[in-house]
Structures are given as structure tokens and as C-alpha cells.
Structure 1
Amino acid sequence: MEHLENSRVKGVYSEALVRSLNGYDHDPAVPRTLQNPWTRERAQSLADGGNRHREPLFIEGRPYAHPRISVPNPRPAEIQLDGETLHLARYGPRGAHYSRTTPPVEWIPEP
């Protein structure tokens, strides 16, 4: 679902789609009946989850994305992970990169 945008729940009326969704459980006697239909709430929950754009999280010093967590878009400046605070270091084409070190404080000269 990562390449889909604006997912929404709609009824299924195509016999071919019903047959595909049923798979081996398809009953030719009732060609337009889903064998294991989802509730509207479950389908809407899946659609809403796909509509939230999330991006992989990288931690400075590790060559791979964190396997358990992704961040929403826009990315938060700080996140809590395993009891430590991580700060957004940069954003790259593959995702958000966080660091354990705090970002530098901008110096503003006094007038």
C-alpha cells in the first residue's frame, strides 16, 4: 500500500474481484459473496493507516533503518525511543535521520 494515496473503503461488486479475494474458498454457487468479509471499521482502519504517510527512521551510527519504528510526515524534531531522546539531525531521500546529540543552539547577537 505504500504507492497508494487517499485510500477509501468501497463495496466490492465485481465477480472477478470477489473470486480473487476469496481465493481457494470461492464458492461458484454464490459468485458475488465474500467468504470472509471484513467489517467496515476494519477496512476503514486499514485505509486510514495507509493514508498516514510514514517514513523510515535512521539513527546516526547505524547503517540500517530501525526495524520497529517509522515517523510521520512531517517529521517531529524529537522522539523518544528505548528511554532516550533522539533529535532530528537531517532528512534524506531514504528517510529521517536522528541523532543522540542535541542540535547546536543558534547564537543571536544582542543589539
Structure 2
Amino acid sequence: MTDTGPAGEGEGAPDGLLGWCLVANVARETAHGESALDIQHGTKHFRAGALLWLPPVRWDPGWGRWPAVGRHRGNSRRYVRMIVRAEDLENFRVKGVYSEALVRSLNGYDHDPAAPRTLQNPWTRERAQSWADGQNSDREPLFIEGHPYAHPRITVPNPPPEEIQIDGETLHLAHYGTRGARYSRTPPPVEWTPEP
């Protein structure tokens, strides 16, 4: 999905397209805590559903993390630049950049005041769309109890199976939500039913 018009940039936005950017929304549910079973709405800095602009990565912020620009949960008037977990994002797509304030935030330390409408490290529309398509796959990420990040090589179908075998070990479905399937080594409790 590609958006082509200026959306939500407020009054005073420049008329012309300044570039393309990969964007995503903060997930409705984000997993935190031990075994990632503490489900929260949004993140500490961004509310659920917040639009985040994702500039191309020029340095490695850590596995499964992205630099992102968005409007902070506490001050929705200004853009802030932060590192976010990729697993906290959903609905990847391409949007046009129309705001000089957004260009300034996307550029970060590389921003040139002499060229305030120039993205220093721009996405091409095709490259951004390719990344968005790759992130919006139909398979669900798999999380294993005790590991805070998704398994890098394994995904499961939607809906996920109750049990899976990984490296000879049986894992049991512990939680399934919008952010993927979470498996535990401990089998689920057996429901007690009274005998007649």
C-alpha cells in the first residue's frame, strides 16, 4: 500500500513532494517483561497506532531495532527521533514526505540548514515498498519463553499450531496476539472436570 498525498502534516506544509519514506504504525499490543508475556498498549514513548517514519538505516542500532521519527506520547506537536523495536511496529507502507520539520528530524545530525527541504539519505519509492512488502508477510513471528526477541529464522502460519518441534524440543503455544505467537516449554495446565 502506498500513500501519495500529504496526510496529517498540518497547516503550512510545503506543496511539493520532498521524498519518500518507509512508515509503520506502533502496534496495538506490545510485549514486555520476562518471557515477553506482559502485553501493553503502545510503547513508553509512542502511543498505540502512532505513525512512525523509518529512515534508511545508516548504522546498526542493534538486532531487531530501527531508528524512527514520530510524535512523542507526551508532546504530540514535535517530532522526536528514537530507536524502536521492529516487533513493536505493524502496517508497513510508503508515504510521501511533505514537511520541512519532518525532513529535519529524518536527517538528524546530517541536516543541512542551507538545504532544509533535502533528505540527506532518502529512500527510493521502490526500495521502501520492497521493505514494506517484506515486513508485511502473512506468517507470524515466533517467540520462545526466556528470549525477548523473535526467533530469527522461524515463523509460524496464521493461526499458529498448539505445539511445534524445534531442535527436538516440544514447545506449547502460551499466547497469541497481534504481535505474533509466544511459545513456552511448559505444557498448558490440564483443565479439571468433575466426574459425574
Give TM class, smaller chain.
Answer: 0.5 to 0.7
**Where do 5+ consecutive residues of structure 2 fail to align?**
1-24, 28-48, 50-89, 188-196
Cα shift at 1:19: 0.3
Cα shift at 1:31: 1.1
In structure 2, the CA distance between the partners of 1:13 and 1:56, relative to structure 1 (3 Å rule), is: same
Among 70, 78, 97, the alignment partner of 2:183 is 97
CA contact (8 A) 1:85 1:100 kept: no
Size of the aligned set, in residue pairs, is: 95
**Where do 5+ consecutive residues of structure 1 fail to align?**
102-111
2:128 is equivalent to residue 43 of structure 1: yes
Aligned AA (2:168): E
In structure 2, the CA distance between the partners of 1:34 and 1:80, relative to structure 1 (3 Å rule), is: farther
Answer with 1 or 2: which has the greater Rg.
Answer: 1
Matches within 5 A, 1:15-26: 15-26=100-111
CA contact (8 A) 2:143 2:150 kept: no
In structure 2, the CA distance between the partners of 1:100 and 1:93, relative to structure 1 (3 Å rule), is: closer
The higher relative CO (CA closer than 8 Å, separation ≥ 6) is in: 2
Normalising by structure 2, we get a TM-score of 0.36
Between structures 1 and 2, the one with greater strand share: 2
SS of residue paired to 1:96: strand
Between structures 1 and 2, the one with greater helix share: 1
The CA distance in 1 between the partners of 2:26 and 2:140, in whole Å, is 9
SS of residue paired to 1:19: helix
SS of residue paired to 2:143: strand
Normalising by structure 1, we get a TM-score of 0.56
Identity %: 52
Q: Deviations over 1:10-58 (max 9, x none)?
A: 1111100000000111112221110011233442244335434745522
Aligned alpha-carbon RMSD (Å): 3.6
List structure 1 segments (4+ residues) > 4 angstroms apart after TM superposition: 76-80, 98-101
